[in-house]
Homo-oligomer: A and B are copies of this chain.
Amino acid sequence: MSSKNAFYAQSGGVTSVINASACGVIETSRKNPDKIGKVFAGLNGIIGALSEELIDTSRESDADIAALKNTPAGAFGSCRFKLKSLQENRREYERLIEVFKAHDIGYFFYNGGGDSADTCFKVSQLSATLGFPVQAIHIPKTVDNDLPITDNCPGFGSVAKYIAVSALEASFDVSSMAKTSTKVFILEVMGRHAGWIAAAGGLIEDYGIPVILLFPEVDFDHDKFISAVQAKVDAHGYCTVVVSEGARNADGSFLAEQGTRDAFGHAQLGGVAPVVANMIKTALGHKFHWAVADYLQRSARHIASASDLEQAYALGQAGVEMALAGKNAIMPTINRISNNPYQWEIGSADLAEVANVEKTMPLDFITPNGFGITDKCREYLYPLIQGEAYPDYDEHGMPRYVVLKNELIDRKLENFDL
């Protein structure tokens, strides 16, 4: 096999461990200089390939590349940019191949969720058709945990750990004060289509916390919810509610959309937590507080799960190893071997079976009343939040997160209008 360059890009919402996958890709490539030349990274994801803005990662020191493992977010930039279908916009795919050809790129490592798996698959197919075959490997990443075949997705475990720990801590706070102050605490978490992240909040029940979960998978029933909250307050003196941003009414509308308006009457975007808080205030009159974790949850490298971090790195590494073994249109996966002790191994999935398939939360992970998680769900979740992978801190008490040089290589092609 002659040496070809590689292209790596980050796609979609970033996570606290996606850079660990980048680290796995780059470090493994550096160990195989006879087969992989340079690793170019797309500035701001796939857009960097289309616009021929390629970062030369060979100009980064080994130490800085290693530091990626402990740095949250997307070190090369990511983007929300879904390539259209081949029918709609074939020129975008052709442009990608042109750029790959111009820079002698034979490996395409795309680090993202469902949409990027689809793009990756199409690039693999089209590049062969166009006579410049590129080995396209998808490295899974998504806090939404919704990719098929793999047991779980890097990024999710760390968000789950952040939410479980934070919900526990805030519940201790509420418990302390409930006699004269806040009785209901509402924590809004990510998850527009699936309740995986809210489910992690359910783990605190094992630690004695009265908690109610609101999932997108379960139609919201106002009266049932209010009764459940009051029952917890009666029994424990307080109640914690963990609500998915995607919690929905029976008619499919988001709870978050149903109400808040600014002084001018404009519908206000975001924020299901205050909507739920107001329901509780109106129906029960309890003092409440609410928090919206938003980006804090998916960037919280300071409390990343060690098992998540290890898997994120291992999948980047495995992606390169699969490419070196001649694989194409494939995604390395996590296969769970056992829960206790937690054991897993790297597997693989054909991209044809990954692209455009969304894995939702199994219904037997949710309790019959719709407000909690089952033991089966607990057994699934705990291994994913195992261990603490702390970053280093500087003398000021701030985490040492690396900012790369991100120097672009010279362009060889004409401009391309996105």
Contact = CB atoms under 8 A, between A and B. Distances in A.
A91 interface: no
Interface stretch (A30-38, A271-279, A349-357): A271-279
Contacts of A72: 169, 172-173
A296 B299 contact: no
Interface in A140-178: 161, 164-166, 168-170, 172-177
A80 B385 contact: no
A11 B382 CA distance: 35
A176 B261 contact: no
Nearest to A167: B296
Interface in A299-320: 299-303, 305-307
A326 B221 CA distance: 61
Interface residues of A, number: 88
Interface in A260-290: 260-263, 266, 268-271, 273-275, 277-278, 281-282, 289-290
A387 B396 CA distance: 8
Interface in A159-201: 161, 164-166, 168-170, 172-177, 179-182, 185, 187
Contact of A390 (B71, B81, B170, B390): B390
A159 to B, nearest CB: 12
A71 B177 contact: no
A252 interface: no
Contacts of A282: 266
Given A80-B180, A258-B263, A293-B291, A169 B300 contact: yes
Contacts of A258: 263
Contacts of A399: 165, 168-169
B77 A176 contact: yes
B80 A177 contact: yes
* Copies of this protein, total: 2
B74 A176 contact: yes
A210 to B, nearest CB: 13
Interface in A103-156: none
A172 to B, nearest CB: 4
B296 A169 contact: yes
Contacts of A416: none
Contacts of A305: 397
A380 interface: no
Contacts of A262: 259-261, 275, 278
A176 B73 contact: yes
Which 5 residue pairs are nearest across A and B when measured between Cβ atoms? A74-B176, A291-B294, A259-B263, A73-B172, A385-B397
Interface of A: 10, 13-14, 16, 44, 47, 71-75, 77-81, 161, 164-166, 168-170, 172-177, 179-182, 185, 187, 203, 206-208, 258-263, 266, 268-271, 273-275, 277-278, 281-282, 289-296, 298-303, 305-307, 382, 385-388, 390, 393, 395-399, 401, 403
